[in-house]
Amino acid sequence: MISFTTFLLTLLALFNLSLSAHEDVFVPPVLYPRFNTVWIVGQYHNVTWDTDDAPVHISNKIGQVYLAANYIIDMDHPLATGFNILDGRVVIHVPKVTPGSHYSIVLMGDSGNYSPQFTIRSH
Ligand SMILES: *[C@@H]1O[C@H](CO)[C@@H](O)[C@H](O)[C@H]1NC(C)=O
Ligand SMILES: *[C@@H]1O[C@H](CO)[C@@H](O)[C@H](O)[C@H]1NC(C)=O
């Protein structure tokens, strides 16, 4: 029979586990594109992010980059996938989208991080 103390210790241990797992979540801030960046459809650009605060153990090192319009992520068309989040940069091809200044880049690892909104022009 499981005693109340054992039960409590198990709960504590589980809580501890989730805490230490949380420490390994790495959500790097996007450095480029910035708020005043202008990209042209068809160009290639390095999306960059800060890896300085990366913990030693990361639960998910595989990154993905998406484009968001008005903060709505286009999940069907990732701009880059399968790269190492510790690289700090990945080259993307600017997709053919309606020109506007409501775009942002979303870097996903364990969790997502938005760049500031920037502009995409058609030419
Ligand atoms: C919680 O984790 C620390 C080290 O990460 C360990 O020393 C401690 O015994 C753990 N506590 C429990 C209740 O599992
Ligand atoms: C991306 O960055 C790398 C390293 O700085 C550089 O060699 C490469 O030319 C850049 N690519 C583009 C499209 O800017």
Q: 10-23 pLDDT, tens per residue?
A: 777 776 655 555 45
Q: What does the pLDDT read at residue 18?
A: 55
Residue 4: how many other CB atoms lie within 10 Å = 7
Q: Which residue has the higher pLDDT, 28 or 78?
A: 78
Q: What does the pLDDT read at residue 92?
A: 98
Ligand 1 touching residue 25 (CB < 6 A) = no
Q: What does the pLDDT read at residue 19?
A: 55
Decide if pLDDT at 110 tops 70.
Answer: yes
Query: 23-121 adopts what CATH topology?
Result: Immunoglobulin-like (2.60.40)
Q: Which atom of ligand 1 is nearest to 12's Cα?
A: 13
The number of C-alpha atoms within 13 Å of 97 and in the hemisphere containing its C-beta is 22
- Ligand number nearest to the C-alpha of 48: 2
Q: What does the pLDDT read at residue 121?
A: 97
Q: Which atom of ligand 2 is nearest to 45's Cα?
A: 13
- Ligand number nearest to the C-alpha of 20: 1
Q: 31-89 pLDDT, tens per residue?
A: 999 999 999 999 999 999 998 877 777 777 899 999 999 999 999 999 999 999 999 99
- Here the tokens at position 34 are 């910035």
Nearest-CA residue for atom 10 of ligand 2 = 46
Q: What does the pLDDT read at residue 16?
A: 62
What letter represents residue 52's amino acid? D
